[in-house]
Structure 1
Amino acid sequence: MHYAAITERLAHTGGAKWAIHQRCRMMKAQGADIIELTIGEPDMPPHETLLEVCLESMRGGRTGYSSGRGEPGLLDAIAARYSRRRPGVDTGNVLCFPGTQTALFVTMMGLTGPGDGVLVGDPFYATYEGVIAASGAHREPVPLRAENGFHMTAEDLEAAITPSSRVLLLNSPHNPTGAVLTAAEIERICAVCAEHDLWIVADEVYEELVFEGSFASPFDLPAYADRVVALSSISKSHAAPGFRSGWAVGPHAFCERLLPLSETILFGNQPFIADMTAFALNSDLPTSARMRASYKHRAALFADALDRLDGVKPFRPQAGMFIVLDVSGTGLSGADFAWKLLDAGVAVMPGSSFGDNAGALVRLSLTVPDDSVIEACARITRFVEAL
């Protein structure tokens, strides 16, 4: 039987990246004692007020079809949030989606096609490979160098640009490394993109999890407003990944052109979830502050404990919910290290899931209690010392 070409393009971009996580879950279901440090799922629940708002919205009858662009209250809340960052933003600049992943997919399908190049830092978030390949575009890696703290530089970006380049997919704060670009770095990157007439798609889901200093974004620079699209959600900021509520904010023309594409896939997100999201964005809840403090503390626990090990080099994150280790000094690749460590009772993600430039790395999640972090450090220490 015949299948569409997209199925071939995506054939090797999905579940294989998460094989260790899936194996870990299977082993735990069979009773194995494994500390799971694979995925970035917050270990605190959403604020109880959000659950109450969601429940009351459902009880109030907000269970019907949604608006294709997004529910009016949520559009207003997102526009207000981004207009504080860059004056002049209104609801015509906003599209709502069930999560950032859907926003990424529609954005890439709307901006790229077969033969187009998408510049993306390497290491990169695991699903970027698929959302780029879906349209027929190809990934053009920009090396994120450990000696630069995994910060993208304008020089490395310039060197990676080809005649087919159409989009820069920029992720700051960064997954998997936790690097946070400065305002000066971003301005230099934007200048390069303008010179080469590139779109800038900014994945900013970790915006509220910067440990120290301030968050900077290309969206906040009026000079580049016609080429920047910012994507985010409440998954990380409000510990609500299962509610699937995200958005894209960009030029009016971008939203008008992509709305029909979005509407062929979905119609916004569920009204009761939209109401909850609007409340979250309009309220000053303590969730992100608590997560920031917790993740920063756990990152220090990991870094302080593992920095003493021969063959392992932790990179202290500036934001987010992960820490990466360079394990090349052990003589193992990141993938071999991760699979062998699973047998020692700790599940981590191999760097190979995050690009060619991450083969020597493993990624550890900070979303487990402190006592689990301490025990994981002890198990990793025993494992490395026994190699």
Structure 2
Amino acid sequence: MKYASITERLAGLGGAKWEIHARARKMKAAGTPVLEFTIGEPDAPCPPELIETAARSMESGRTGYSNGRGEPGLLRALAARYSTRRGRHFGPEQVMCFPGTQTTLFAVLMALVESGDEVIIGDPMYATYEGLIRATGAQPVPVTLRPEHGFRLRVADVAAAITPRSRVLFLNTPHNPTGAVLTRDDIAALGALAVQHDLWIVSDEVYEDLVFDGVAFASPLDLPELAERSIACASISKSHAAPGFRSGWCIGPADFADRLLPLSETMLFGNQPFIADMTAQAVNHPSAVAPGMVDRFQRRAGLIHDRLNGTAGLRVHRPDAGMFALIDVRETGLSGEAFAASLLEAEHVAVMPGESFGAALSGWLRFALSQPDDIVLEGCARIARHAARLLDKAA
């Protein structure tokens, strides 16, 4: 039997990247007490008032069909939110709603690129991004993000990657897995390059509300000169600890939203009205859970740095935002994949190998900050012990 070429383009880009996580879950199911630092899931429950809103909405009959653009109340709420945060007017006609950021990005890229096109993107990158791009038939063009530059995308590196086939500059700020946050000057310079070469700017901003103290968030939507080419995507998954509700959106030029509408109608013909009502309440008010997550994640990143940086050849990169810290294990002589696999077997600690996020993170680990402090400290002790054992063996 024959299959569509998309199945070949995506082969190895799905669950294969999460092999360590899957193995850890199997070990836990079999009774092995594994410390799990793999998945970026909020460490707080979804606020009860949001769940109550969704329940009341269902009880009142808000369980019918929606439409491909989104429920009017949510569209108005998002337009108001972005008008306030970005300091310029956005209308409901500029917003499209989808089930989560992942679906949003899939639809956005399907509307912008196709076979023969190129998408410029930082390496490392979130594990699904390569698949999102390749699903369209376009090619990802990775641009190395370097630790000595804080893992922030640099204009000179992007300029060197641009070709006549370039169509999109894909940003992720705050960044997963590095926790880097692009400055307003970074975005202005990258935006000027996009204008020069007539590139779309797609920005995944799902971690906007998880920026650490002393760090300022900036978006391409802040800059009026980039209005005609910038599309921002986000959701309530991180900011409101609601990943299971799958409620996301994109906002950009009105003409783009109009062109995206038939694709949305073809894909799913609207998301659930009761979840839209819940999301409208969420975006109309400050998050009740984001400040606490910021405090805890920032503190845990400091704990990991204090316990592991300079220990047994390890180096720790402290994030500026988000749910993860990075650990450089190259001094042990192992790849990130080999270190993560051996760590799981020897110490029953599960972390993500850096290679799951791109070649630039080879020899690194991604450590999720979503476990309690005492579990984080125990995980650090086991990682240090394993690294010292590896160094002794190599000596």
Residue 88 of structure 1: CA displacement? Answer: 2.2
Partner deviation per Cα, 1:181-203 (whole Å, 9 max, x = no partner): 11111111111111110000000
In structure 1, the residue matched to 2:17 is 17
- SS of residue in 2 equivalent to 1:293: helix
Q: CA deviation at 1:371?
A: 1.1
Q: Which residue of 1 aligns with 2:8?
A: 8
CA distance in 1, matches of 2:51, 2:187: 36
Distance 1:146 1:298 in 2: 20
Q: What per-residue deviation string (whole Å, max 9, x for no partner) do you get for residues 252-274 of structure 1?
A: 11101111011111123211110
Please give the per-residue CA displacement for 1:265-292, whole angstroms capped at 9, x wherever unaligned: 1123211110000000112232110110
Contact kept? 1:10, 1:130, Cα under 8 Å: yes
Q: With the length of structure 2 as denominator, give the TM-score of the two structures.
A: 0.97
CA contact (8 A) 1:70 1:267 kept: no
In structure 1, what is the Cα distance between the partners aligned to 2:351 and 2:191? Answer: 34
User: After TM superposition, where is structure 1 displaced by more than 2 Å over at least 4 residues in a row?
Assistant: none
Q: Offset of 1:131 from its aligned partner?
A: 0.5
CA contact (8 A) 2:54 2:277 kept: yes
Report if aligned partners of 1:86, 1:219 keep a CA contact under 8 Å in 2.
no
Structure 2: tracts of 5 or more residues without a match: 391-395
Q: Secondary structure at the match of 1:348?
A: strand
Distance in structure 2 (CA, Å) of the matches to 1:285 and 1:136: 38
> Residue 296 of structure 2: which of 289, 294, 297 is its match?
294
Correspondence list, 1:19-168, <5 A: 19-84=19-84, 85-168=86-169
Q: Is the 8 A contact 1:37 1:368 kept in 2?
A: yes
Q: Supply the distance in 2 between the matched residues of 1:102 and 1:13 (Cα, whole angstroms).
A: 16
Q: How far apart, in 2, do the equivalents of 1:308 and 1:329 lie? A: 11
2:179 — aligned with what?
178
Q: Secondary structure at the residue paired with 1:231?
A: strand
- Structure 1: how far apart are the matches of 2:142 and 2:286? 38
Match of 1:246 among 240, 245, 248: 248
Of 334, 351, 354, 1:351 maps to 354
1:6-45 CA-partner distances (Å, limit 9, x unpaired): 1111112101000100000000000111110001011210
What is the 5 A alignment of 1:210-221?
A: 210-212=211-213, 213-221=215-223
Q: How many aligned positions are there?
A: 387
Structure 1 position 232 matched with structure 2 position 231? no
The aligned counterpart of 2:389 is: 386
State the alpha-carbon separation in 2 of the partners of residues 147 and 369 from structure 1. 30
- Counterpart residue number, 1:193: 194
Q: What residue ranges of structure 1 are gaps of 5+ in the alignment?
A: none
Kindly provide the amino acid, as one letter, of the partner of residue 130 in structure 2. Answer: E
SS at 1:340 equivalent: helix
Partner of 2:204: 203
Q: Which residue of 2 aligns with 1:376?
A: 379
Report how far residue 310 of structure 1 moved.
Answer: 2.7
Q: Distance in 1 between matches of 2:150 and 2:333?
A: 23
Q: Give the distance between the partners of 1:358 and 1:96, measured in 2 at CA.
A: 33
Instruction: Provide Cα deviations, 1:315-337, integer angstroms capped at 9, x if missing partner.
Output: 00000000011110111111111
1:335 aligned partner: 337
Deviations 1:145-203 (A, max 9, x none): 11101010111111111121100110010000000111111111111111110000000
Which residue among 357, 361, 365 is the counterpart of 1:362?
A: 365
| Matched AA of 2:166 | S
> Are 2:221 and 1:223 aligned?
no
Match of 2:258 in 1: 256
User: Could you report, residue by residue, the CA deviation over 1:341-367 in whole angstroms, capped at 9, with x for unpaired residues?
Assistant: 111111000111101111121101001
How many angstroms apart in 1 are the aligned matches of 2:164 and 2:331?
A: 38
